[in-house]
Structure 1
Amino acid sequence: MGSPATTALHRAVCTLLLASLGCVTGQPLGGESICTARSLARYNLAFAGKWSQTAFPKQYPLFRPPAQWSSLLGTTHSSDYSMWRENEYASNGLRDFVEQGEAWALMKEIEAAGEKLQSVHAVFSAPAVPSGTGQTASELEVHPRHSLVSFVVRIVPSPDWFVGVDSLDLCEGGRWKEQVALDLYPHDAGTDSGFTFSSPNFATIPQATVTEITSSSPSHPANSFYYPKLKSLPPMARVTLVRLRQSARAFVPPALDLVSRGNEITDNLSVPETPLDCEASLWSSWGLCNGPCGKLGVKSRTRYVLVQPANNGTPCPSLEEETECVPDNCV
C-alpha cells in the first residue's frame, strides 16, 4: 500500500486529469450507435468488498499484509478506449497497478488516450479499503459521447489479481440508467505467475492475456481460489452506481443492506460459506519393524495436515497407520 504522501499525490494527479480531460468532446467512430441523452449525468459509485474468511477460507491473508483492497481508479470514456479487457493483454500501466499498486503509468495512459483519441471524459478514484469486507465510494460524471465506465481495484495481497468493470454503459438509448449493481469476480492480469495470495514475484514470460479466475481455473491445488467442489466462486465484491439528482448534497444513497462501522461492513444477507476440505501430506516412509522373535511385529508411518478443514469441509483422515511385519531386529 502507498504512503499518505503517495496517496495525496495520486489524488492531486487525478484532480489534474479530471480538470484537463473533462472538456474533451470526442466524436464516435463511424457507424457506431451513440447515446442520445441530452445532458451530462453524475453517479455515486459504492464499492463493497465481500472478501471474507468465511467465503474464501483457503489461504485467507490474516497478516503481513491482511486481506484488503487498493484504491479504486477509474475513467468514463467512449468505446474506442479500453482500460482492460478479458482475453486481451494488460497494458504496462495496468500491470504496475495490479502488481505494485502504482498508478502513475496507468494515469498517464488514460491522459494520453484523452489527448490523442479524445476518448476519455473524466477520471475518478476512491480511497483504499483496509480490510476484505470494507467499503469505499466515489462520484463520477458521464457524457453522451463518453457513457462507458471502467475501473480497477487491486486485490491485496496477490501476484497480479484484481476486480473491476470493463466498459459498463450507463446510457440506454435516450436516457441515463437510474441504478446499476454488479457482482465482481477476481481476474488475473496475466503478468505474474504466482498461484497464491502471498506468492513472490514471478513474471509471466511471455505475457498472458487477462482472464477471470474461477473455482477450477487455474486448475492447480495450490491456487488460492481453487475450490473444485464449487460450480462458481462467490462474488469478491459488489459495485452499485446510482444516478445523482440535482446537487450531490441532496443525494441520499439507497439502502445497500449493510450495517456500517466506519468503512467496515457486515452484510445482512447470508454470507456464503465455502467448504474447505482437509488436505494431508503424503505418507512418510515405513518405520522399523519392532517385535519379539518368532512373532509378527508392527511398523508405522505418519503424515501431517497441510490445510485444516473449514465450513463443513471434508474432515482430516487418520494421520498414523500401522501394519504387521516381520521384525528386522527381533528381541
Structure 2
Amino acid sequence: MLPYLFGTLVLILTCTPLANSKYSEPCVADRLTVYRVVMNTYWSKKDFPKHYPMFRPSAQFSKLIGRSHDESFLLFELNRTASEGVRIFAETGASDVLDQLSQGEGGIYDEFIAPSVLHGVGSTHAEFFVDGNHSRVSLISRIVPSPDWFVGISSYDLCSNGRWVDSVMIEVDPLDAGSDNGLTFTSPNWPTDPRVPVRRLTPRHPNHQASSFFYPDRETLPPIATFQFHKVKEYALSEVFHHPESEILNNDVTDPESRPRETNLKSASASSSLSNGAKKEESNSIIDYVPFPENRKSSSSSSTSSRDKKRKLKKFRPPKDCQVTEWSSWTPCSKVCGLGEMTRSRGILTHARRGGNVCPPLKQAKWCGSARSCSSRNYFNWANRW
C-alpha cells in the first residue's frame, strides 16, 4: 500500500519528523493494531518568554482528543477553514460538536482521549486501534490560555509502504484556527469575520509586535510539542467459523437421487424391442451406459439377442451447489471499552449434493470497541474542558 498523498502533504505542512521511522508487520484489514500516542509539551518561559502566562490560568494544554480513521475523515487541514467543531474546541475547549461523529461513523474507527497537561511542560498519553482499512490518525489539543490556538496532527498514516510504523516522533508547531483575531495568550474574545483558513504560527506570523509568538530575531520557533507513536501489539481475527456444512462429504451418498437406479425387464416384448436396437433416451444430463441384464425366460431368439451386450441408458444427475441466505445485520459491539467484537451470520437454503460446492463461511466477525481503559471514569467527563 502506497502512502496516501493527502496524509503526506499534511505531514509536510504541519510537522517535521525528528527521527526515521521503523516498520514492522504488513497492514492488513483483518489484523487490529494497538498504538500508544504520547504528547510531550515544551511550553516554557525560557523558550517562550514573551507574554508567558503565569496564572489565571497558567500555561497548560487541554485534553487531547483523537480519532483513528480512513481517508474519508478530516479533522482539520492547513489553508482550509476549520470546521465548527474544531473552531469551538480551539476557542473554548468544548468538544461536544466534535463528539457528534463517533466510532463507526464518517470513516472513524476508534475515538480516544488523553488527560490535560496542567503545566506548560509535561506529557500525556492514550492508546487507540487501527487496522489496514483505517490506518490514519488525527488529534488535537488546545493551547490554554489562547484566543483559538492549538497543536495537532491531521491524517497521519501509520501504514507506510504497506507496513505498520513501529515508532515515530513528530514535532509540531502552534496552529491558529482562524476564528479569533486575538494576538496574545490572554486576548479578549474578538471574532474573525469572515473566518480565515487554519494557519501555522511562526516568529513572523502574525507579523505584529503584539503577537505572543512574534520573535523577529528567530528563524523558527522552538518546538512547543511533539507526538510519539509506538506500536504496542497486534490482534489477528479469523472470519471463518466452523459449521456443520464442513462435515458434509462432497459426494452425498445418502441422497437417494444420487444412487444408480436398478432396471428390470418387464416383458419379453420389451426385450425384443431392445434387441432390435435400443433407442437412446433424450436427456440434458450426462449419459452413462450399463450392461443390459440377460433374460433367460424368453424365446431362443430373444435369448440370443439379449446375450449380445446391449446397453440401456441411465440418467446421471449433475452436482448441486450449496445455497445460502443473505448476511444478517451486524450485532452490537460486545464491549463499549476495550477490545470487542461484532458478528453477523447467514443460513443454509440448500446443502451441497453429489460433489457440488460446499457452503461458504456462515459467520463473520470484526473488531469494535475502543482502546481506552474501562476503568477510566472520567473518559466522557467533558465538563473538565481544560
Q: Is TM more than 0.5 here? A: yes
Verify the 8 A CA contact 1:37 1:171 in the aligned structure 2: no
Alignment-derived partner of residue 215 in structure 1 = 203
Alignment-derived partner of residue 225 in structure 1 = 213
Verify the 8 A CA contact 2:32 2:234 in the aligned structure 1: no
**Rg: which structure is higher?**
2
Which one of the candidate residues 115, 128, 137 is aligned to 1:140?
Answer: 128
Q: CA deviation at 1:225?
A: 0.1
Instruction: Give 3-state SS (helix, strand or coil) of 1:104's partner.
Output: coil
Alignment-derived partner of residue 83 in structure 1 = 75
| TM-score (structure 1 length as normaliser) | 0.62
Alignment-derived partner of residue 160 in structure 1 = 148
Verify the 8 A CA contact 1:159 1:200 in the aligned structure 2: yes
Q: Partners of 2:221 and 2:161 in 1: how far apart?
A: 33
Structure 1 runs of 4+ off > 2 angstroms? 34-38, 245-248
Verify the 8 A CA contact 2:177 2:198 in the aligned structure 1: yes
| TM-score (structure 2 length as normaliser) | 0.53
Aligned-CA RMSD value: 2.1
1:181 aligns to 2:173 (yes or no)? no
Verify the 8 A CA contact 1:77 1:148 in the aligned structure 2: yes
Long gaps (5+) in structure 1: 1-28, 249-331
Q: Partners of 1:148 and 1:40 in 2: how far apart?
A: 13
Q: Partners of 1:194 and 1:106 in 2: how far apart?
A: 23
1:193 aligns to 2:181 (yes or no)? yes
Identical pairs, percent = 42
Distance 1:246 1:77, change over 3 A: closer
Instruction: Give 3-state SS (helix, strand or coil) of 2:156's partner.
Output: strand
Q: Partners of 1:87 and 1:142 in 2: how far apart?
A: 27
Instruction: Give 3-state SS (helix, strand or coil) of 1:177's partner.
Output: strand
Q: How many matched pairs?
A: 213
The one-character-per-residue Cα deviations of 1:61-115 (angstroms, maximum 9, x if unpaired) are 001100000000010011111001101111111111110010111111x33x943
Verify the 8 A CA contact 1:45 1:239 in the aligned structure 2: yes
User: 1:112-131, aligned counterparts within 5 Å?
Assistant: 114-115=104-105, 117=106, 119-131=107-119
Instruction: Give 3-state SS (helix, strand or coil) of 1:178's partner.
Output: strand
1:63 aligns to 2:51 (yes or no)? no
The one-character-per-residue Cα deviations of 1:119-157 (angstroms, maximum 9, x if unpaired) are 110101000011000111100111111100000000000
Verify the 8 A CA contact 1:78 1:148 in the aligned structure 2: yes
Q: Partners of 1:70 and 1:81 in 2: how far apart?
A: 23
Q: Partners of 2:122 and 2:172 in 1: how far apart?
A: 14
Verify the 8 A CA contact 1:183 1:235 in the aligned structure 2: yes
Q: CA deviation at 1:245?
A: 2.9
Q: Partners of 1:36 and 1:246 in 2: how far apart?
A: 11
The one-character-per-residue Cα deviations of 1:192-234 (angstroms, maximum 9, x if unpaired) are 0100000000000001100000010110000000000100101
Long gaps (5+) in structure 2: 5-25, 236-337, 339-386
Alignment-derived partner of residue 97 in structure 1 = 89
